[in-house]
Amino acid sequence: MIMKTIVNKIVLSAATIGLLIASCSDKDLAVQPRQSISSETALTSVNSVDAAVIGVYATLKSRVLYGRDFMAYGDVMADNAVATNKSGRLVGEGRNNVNAHYANWGTAYSAINDCNLVLDAIPRISAATATQRDRWEGEMRFIRALLYHDLMRSYAYAPTFIVSASNRGGVVLRSTAVDNKDTAAAFRPARATIQQCYDFIINDLTIASTKLQTSARAGAPHFATRAAAQALLSRVQLYNGNWAAARDAATAALTGGVGTLTTAANHVAGWRASTHPESIFEVRFAIAAESLGVNEALQTTYTSMGAIGAPSTNGGWGDMVPNAVTLNAVGITGFPSALSIANTAALPTLTRTSDVRNQLFEWGGQRTNPRFIECTKFFGKSGFLNVDNVPVIRHAEVLLIRAEAHYRLGNEAAALTDINTLRTNRGLTAVTLTGNDILEEILRQRLAELAMEGHRFHDLKRLGRDITKDPSVGFTLAITDFRVLAPIPNGELIGNPNMQQNPGY
């Protein structure tokens, strides 16, 4: 009898459970992710907007932005650096192969959309103070301008030099966010004109300059400041050909209180310091986990030795090295014309001028044969292997922007003063020049000062000068060649008749 009762109970419970399941409905299938939150509840509090702002800064560390490409490509695609084919990376870019180009489109627009989400959210955050709102708006407009200018540098011509036959305009301008699938699926963007884009960028930087604080936010130069907005504005106006505006913004940036020009005595040390003393805006790589790794970080891209001054030790790849153009500009001679020697051979002694900048170049390591002279500007200076802060804009560049602006405005004396300020702070003597020689000296100083920092390609492009590739590559890339502009990703063109691809792709 007892047995039977137990049995009945078992049957009854099983049946009950079965019936419970049979009565389940949609809501019983509810699960909750723990590593993400629903988009609707995001960006409704001060803390969440703060996190979104940090998220945008974090994107700048991507390889296709300041993690590598915007430092390395501007040189390897120009006339002053070569790819070594040690890991195979940058070889296509070094030969200006079709499609081997900047690929910042997707990442930049993702970050721009994140900027727009914050800008759209600011009015909704009633708990925020006016100071917080200004800071959020200033920082987002600054980063949006930086991203847009870099998009323009990749995919479009600068107003100072446009190849009309190949000009398909600027890039897609967006000042509001895409935040649901229906607006995203219906989005059929078109390219704005080059001038519309520059106006948009200049407007962002002008507003950012008023919203951002003069006294640096704690963490400068790693967060945007008024000086950073003005420094970037001077660069943008230089590309825009508005010399007076470039000059004035440069002066404001140089006196903005963020960073200071290094001297001949401390210039090399500046490149060994975690934060570069000249930086007006710098992307911070703070901890080892932020490294882009042994294949793509700047240290491994530029160098192959394990320690500075120790070419027998092994470190990174050393995929990209300066060629004679850069080495001569910083005052190094005595290297073979092939730029390299076999690992087993004795190291030729390099002859160096008094220019302190040449101390940032030395014989590299022996990771794969042969060895080259490498640039040591990025050598794990944040304290970990392959972790380097990236100076986005620094005093020397702004000084050279102002020199160029003065020259264009006919003020040769002021241009020479700026040039000589830089020269004497780099171990060189002052020069006296006139006319076009001044412009050439400015460009030579840009080459020497900003080598391997991603400027040369854009300088030649905005000036309309052909790119005489290294003899090992063996051709001259006319500045009118379609390969000067990057291809717009295919996803942008599918089903969108409004969009125009750059010519040749």
Partner 1 sequence: MQGAMAGVQVVSNNGVPGGNVTVRVRGVGSINASSTPLYIVDGVQIVTGNSNSLGNGNGPEGLVSSNLLNAINPDDIESIDVLKDPASASIYGAQAANGVVIITTKKDRAGKSKINFNSYFGVSRVIKKLDVLTATEAVQLGYEANANRFGAGSANVTTFLNGVGATVKNGIVDPLENTDWQDLAFRSGFVQNYDLSVSGGNDKTTFFLSGGYNRLQGHVLASDFQRGSLRINLDHKVNDKLSIGSSLTLSSYSSNGVFDGGSFGNPVRNGFMSFPTNKPYNPDGSFRQAANGQWFGGLDNFLTYTSLNKNFSNVKNLVGGINATYNINKYLRWRSTFNLNYNYTEEKQFSDPRGSGASVNGSVSKASTQIRDFQTNHTLNYARTFGAKHAVSGLLGAEYRYNLQTSFAAFGQGLPLPQFQTLSSTATPLSPNEGFGDFKLLGFFAKAGYTYDDKYIVNLTVRRDGSSRFGEDTKFGLFPSISTAWRISREKFMGKFGENNDMKLRFSYGVTGNQAGIGNYASRALFGLSGEYLGLAGGAPSQLGNAALGWEENETFNYGIDFSILNRRVTAEIDYFSANRRSLLLAFPLPPSSGFSSITRNTGVLQNRGIELGLNTVNFSTKNFRWTTNFNFTYVKNKVVKLNEGQNNIGTGIVVGRQLNSIFTYKFAGVNPADGRTMYYDTLGNITYTPQLRDRYYLDKSSDPLWFGAFTNTLTFKNFELRFQFQYQGGNYIQNSDATFVQRAGSTFDRNQLKSQMLRWQRPGDMTYVPRPWAGAAQPGSSSYTFFSDRFWERGDFLRLKEVTITMYLDKKTLNRLGLTNASFYVSGFNLATWANYSMFDPELQGNDFGTYPQAKQMTMGLNLTF
Token representation of residue 87: 């890991």
If the CB atoms of residues 174 and 352 are measured against partner 1, the closer one turns out to be 174
If the CB atoms of residues 110 and 195 are measured against partner 1, the closer one turns out to be 110
Taking residue 168's Cβ as centre, other Cβ atoms within 10 Å add up to: 16
Residues near 406 by Cβ (< 8 Å), separated by ≥ 6? Answer: 247, 412, 414, 415, 418
Rule CB under 8 A: is residue 18 a binding residue for partner 1? yes
| Stretch of residues binding partner 1 (CB under 8 A), selected from 31-39, 197-205, 392-400, 409-417 | 31-39
Rounded to a whole number of angstroms, the minimum distance from the CB of residue 231 to partner 1 is: 20
User: Of 194-223, which residues contact partner 1 (CB under 8 A)?
Assistant: 219, 222-223
If the CB atoms of residues 11 and 430 are measured against partner 1, the closer one turns out to be 11
If the CB atoms of residues 295 and 417 are measured against partner 1, the closer one turns out to be 295
As a whole number of angstroms, the distance between CA 471 and CA 228 comes to 38
Rounded to a whole number of angstroms, the minimum distance from the CB of residue 165 to partner 1 is: 22
As a whole number of angstroms, the distance between CA 381 and CA 288 comes to 11
As a whole number of angstroms, the distance between CA 485 and CA 417 comes to 35
Query: How far apart, in Å, are the Cα atoms of 502 and each of 112, 292, 481?
Result: 22, 30, 11
320 bridge partner residues = 83
Rule CB under 8 A: is residue 119 a binding residue for partner 1? no
| Secondary structure element (H or E) that encloses residue 375, with its range | strand 371-375
Rule CB under 8 A: is residue 494 a binding residue for partner 1? yes
As a whole number of angstroms, the distance between CA 299 and CA 277 comes to 19
Which residue of 9, 106, 195, 475 would you call a contact of partner 1, by CB under 8 A? 106
Rule CB under 8 A: is residue 294 a binding residue for partner 1? yes
Find the distance separating the first CA and the last CA of the chain, reported in whole Å.
86
Rule CB under 8 A: is residue 348 a binding residue for partner 1? no
Which residue of 66, 70, 102, 109 would you call a contact of partner 1, by CB under 8 A? 109
SS (H, E, C) 89-120: CCHHHHCCCCCCCCCCHHHHHHHHHHHHHHHH
| Secondary structure element (H or E) that encloses residue 52, with its range | helix 46-59
361 bridge partner residues = 375
Which residue of 100, 121, 152, 177 would you call a contact of partner 1, by CB under 8 A? 177
User: Of 40-79, which residues contact partner 1 (CB under 8 A)?
Assistant: 40-43, 48, 50-59, 61
User: Of 139-168, which residues contact partner 1 (CB under 8 A)?
Assistant: none
Q: How many residues bind partner 1 (CB under 8 A)?
A: 97
User: Of 350-369, which residues contact partner 1 (CB under 8 A)?
Assistant: 366, 368-369
Contact code string over 219-258 relative to partner 1, x by CB under 8 A? x--xx-----------------------------------
If the CB atoms of residues 185 and 431 are measured against partner 1, the closer one turns out to be 185
